[in-house]
């Protein structure tokens, strides 16, 4: 029986992908490299280490993970001021989960600094989340199951008692590898590419009742 819900963040609770992509493009531009949104698509959902590092690797660009990622986050913080908003249905879905006494966590591959920027913008009630896990707290990022296994462990739940809400292909693979059920949202990829999830909906606004009632 379901006892907890583990939310990915980007593309699930809010859509910050375009801002992170723009931040990355500007960061690489400062390094003299011109890249496009398409260059980042293979690395969506894998955390900024791979998101940025994968593109640098493709182009053979000199890349200092700590310095260049920090710069990308600086740009991200600047360009997202007043622009980050919850995706449709987020607050209502969380209320539905809380009414069922489900434990809730955010488990994101993003670093803590980005997670905090995004969660502040969501303006969730103080008691909405039981805990968070960010990409700096696990060694292996998605598609490995580590982050969802860790979130379930901290909640005191078995993975098979948890629903993962994801939007990225790597995230669905992570959820399945962890042994969780998965609701996939078609916010970043077409629905027909998400069919290996247990349920698929456009956003949390039209998430099926069955996804939190099993």
- Domain extent, residue 199, equals 4-15+85-212
Mark whether 92 and 194 lie in a shared domain. yes
Domain boundary pick from 79, 99, 117: 79
Q: Is 148 within 8 Å of 180 (Cβ atoms)? A: yes
For residue 163, report the phi and psi dihedrals to the nearest 5 degrees: -100, 130
Domain boundary pick from 79, 98, 128: 79
126: number of CA atoms within 13 Å, CB side?
0
Active-site residue (options: 8, 68, 111, 146): 8
Mark whether 37 and 91 lie in a shared domain. no
Domain boundary pick from 58, 79, 100: 79
| Whether residue 126 lies in the annotated active site | no
Q: What is the mean pLDDT of residues 175-197?
A: 96
Q: Could you read off the pLDDT of 67-82 as tens digits, one per residue?
A: 999 999 999 999 999 9
Mark whether 140 and 161 lie in a shared domain. yes
Mark whether 128 and 195 lie in a shared domain. yes
Residue 44 in this model has a pLDDT that exceeds 90: no
Residue 61 in this model has a pLDDT that exceeds 90: yes
**CATH number of the domain residue 97 falls in:** 3.40.50.1000
Total tally of structural domains belonging to the chain: 2
Q: Could you read off the pLDDT of 126-172 as tens digits, one per residue?
A: 899 999 999 999 999 999 999 999 999 999 999 999 999 999 999 99
Confidence of residue 92 (pLDDT cuts 50, 70, 90): very high
Residue 57 in this model has a pLDDT that exceeds 80: yes
Mark whether 75 and 166 lie in a shared domain. no
| Whether residue 10 lies in the annotated active site | yes
């Amino acid at each position: 029986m379901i006892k907890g819900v583990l939310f990915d963040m980007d593309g699930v609770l809010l859509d910050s992908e375009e801002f992170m992509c723009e931040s990355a493009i500007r960061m690489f531009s400062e390094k003299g490299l011109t890249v496009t949104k398409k260059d980042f698509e293979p690395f969506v959902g894998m955390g900024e280490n791979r998101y940025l590092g994968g593109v640098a690797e493709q182009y053979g660009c000199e890349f200092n993970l700590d310095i260049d990622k920090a710069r990308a986050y600086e740009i991200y913080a600047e360009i997202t001021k007043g622009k980050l908003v919850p995706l449709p249905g987020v607050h209502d879905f969380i209320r539905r989960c809380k009414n069922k006494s489900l434990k809730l966590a955010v488990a994101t591959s993003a670093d803590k600094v980005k997670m905090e920027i995004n969660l502040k913008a969501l303006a969730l009630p103080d008691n909405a989340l039981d805990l968070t896990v960010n990409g700096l707290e696990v060694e292996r990022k998605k598609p490995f199951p580590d982050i969802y296994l860790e979130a379930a462990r901290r909640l005191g739940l078995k993975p098979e008692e948890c629903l993962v809400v994801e939007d990225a292909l790597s995230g669905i693979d992570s959820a399945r590898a962890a042994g969780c059920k998965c609701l996939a949202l078609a916010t970043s990829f077409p629905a027909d590419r998400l069919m290996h999830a247990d349920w698929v909906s456009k956003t949390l606004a039209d998430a099926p009742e069955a996804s939190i009632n099993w």
